[in-house]
Amino acid sequence: MAPVQGNYDYDLVVIGGGSAGLACAKEAVQNGARVACLDYVKPTPIGTKWGVGGTCVNVGCIPKKLMHQASLLGEAVHEAAAYGWNVDDKIKPDWSKLVTSVQNHIKSVNWVTRVDLRDKKVEYINGLGSFVDPHTMVAKLKTNERTITAENFVIAVGGRPRYPDIPGAVEYGITSDDLFSLDHEPGKTLVVGAGYIGLECAGFLKGLGYEPTVMVRSIVLRGFDQQMAELVASSMDERGIPFLRKTVPLSVEKQDDGKLLVKYKNTETGEEGEDTYDTVLWAVGRKGLVEDLNLSNAGVTTVKDKIQVDTKETTNVPNIYAVGDIIYGKPELTPVAVLAGRLLARRLYGGSNQRMDYSDVATTVFTPLEYACVGLSEEDAVKQYGADNVEVFHGYYKPTEFFIPQKSVRYCYLKAVAERSGDQRVYGLHYLGPVAGEVIQGFAAALKSGLTINTLINTVGIHPTTAEEFTRLSITKRSGLDPTPASCCS
Ligand code: FAD
Ligand code: NDP
pLDDT for the residue 91: 84
Element holding 125 (H helix, E strand): strand 123-125
Query: Of 68, 184, 394, 463, which is the active-site residue?
Result: 463
Question: Residue of the nearest CA to atom 14 in ligand 2?
Answer: 284
What integer is the mean pLDDT of 102-124?
97
**Ligand 2 proximity of 334 Cβ (cutoff 6 Å):** no
pLDDT above 70 covers what percent of the chain? 98
**Catalytic site includes residue 394:** no
What is the C-alpha separation between 37 and 137, in angstroms, rounded?
A: 12
The CA angle 321-325-328, to the nearest 5 degrees, is 70
Residues 6+ positions from 47 with CB-CB distance below 8 Å: none
Element holding 138 (H helix, E strand): strand 136-140
pLDDT for the residue 1: 44
| Residue whose CB lies within 8 A of the most ligand 2 atoms, among 68, 197, 222, 366, for a mutation test | 197
pLDDT for the residue 5: 55
Q: Measuring CA to CA, which residue among 160, 195, 144, 169 is closest to residue 16?
A: 160
pLDDT for the residue 90: 80
Which top CATH class is 10-161+287-350? alpha beta
| Residue whose CB lies within 8 A of the most ligand 1 atoms, among 26, 55, 59, 125, for a mutation test | 55
**Ligand 1 proximity of 128 Cβ (cutoff 6 Å):** yes
**Ligand 2 proximity of 199 Cβ (cutoff 6 Å):** no
Residues 6+ positions from 113 with CB-CB distance below 8 Å: 17, 22, 51, 52, 53, 57
CATH of 162-284, picked from 3.10.290.10, 3.40.630.30, 3.40.50.12280, 3.50.50.60, is 3.50.50.60
Other Cβ atoms closer than 10 A to 119: 9
pTM here is 0.97
The CA angle 480-380-220, to the nearest 5 degrees, is 85
Question: Residue of the nearest CA to atom 3 in ligand 2?
Answer: 195
In the chain, % helix, strand, coil (3-state, to 5) comes to 35, 25, 40
What integer is the mean pLDDT of 32-44?
98
**Ligand 1 proximity of 19 Cβ (cutoff 6 Å):** yes
Each domain of the chain, given as residue ranges in start order, spans 10-161+287-350, 162-284, 369-475
* Residue 381: pLDDT over 50: yes
Tell me the residue ranges of DSSP E strands in 141-181: 145-155, 159-161, 174-175
**Which residues participate in the annotated binding site for NAD(+)?**
193-200, 285
Q: What ipTM did this prediction achieve?
A: 0.97
What is the C-alpha separation between 292 and 398, in angstroms, rounded?
A: 51
Instruction: Tell me whether strands 123-125 and 35-38 are parallel, antiparallel or unpaired.
Output: parallel
pLDDT for the residue 88: 80
DSSP character at residue 314: B
Tell me the residue ranges of DSSP E strands in 187-298: 188-192, 211-215, 243-244, 247-254, 260-266, 272-277, 279-282, 286-288
What is the C-alpha separation between 262 and 18, in angstroms, rounded?
A: 34
Element holding 443 (H helix, E strand): helix 436-448
What integer is the mean pLDDT of 54-62?
98
Q: Which CATH superfamily is domain 369-475 in?
A: FAD/NAD-linked reductase, C-terminal dimerisation domain (3.30.390.30)
Tell me the residue ranges of DSSP E strands in 16-114: 35-38
89 confidence band (pLDDT: 50, 70, 90): confident
Residues 6+ positions from 144 with CB-CB distance below 8 Å: none
281 phi and psi angles, rounded to 5 deg: -110, 115
pLDDT digits (tens, 9 = 90+) for 448-489: 999 999 999 999 999 999 999 999 999 999 999 999 987 767
**Ligand 2 proximity of 198 Cβ (cutoff 6 Å):** yes
* Residue 240: pLDDT over 70: yes
Instruction: Tell me whether strands 390-396 and 286-288 are parallel, antiparallel or unpaired.
Output: unpaired
| Residue whose CB lies within 8 A of the most ligand 2 atoms, among 56, 217, 327, 374, for a mutation test | 217
What integer is the mean pLDDT of 415-441?
97
Domains 162-284 and 369-475 share a fold: no
Q: Measuring CA to CA, which residue among 394, 426, 431 is closest to residue 412?
A: 431
pLDDT digits (tens, 9 = 90+) for 163-210: 999 999 999 999 999 999 999 999 999 999 999 999 999 999 999 999
* Residue 2: pLDDT over 70: no
* Cβ atoms of residues 246 and 237 within 8 Å: no
Distance 324 CA to ligand 1 centre (A): 8
pLDDT digits (tens, 9 = 90+) for 276-307: 999 999 999 999 999 999 999 999 999 999 99
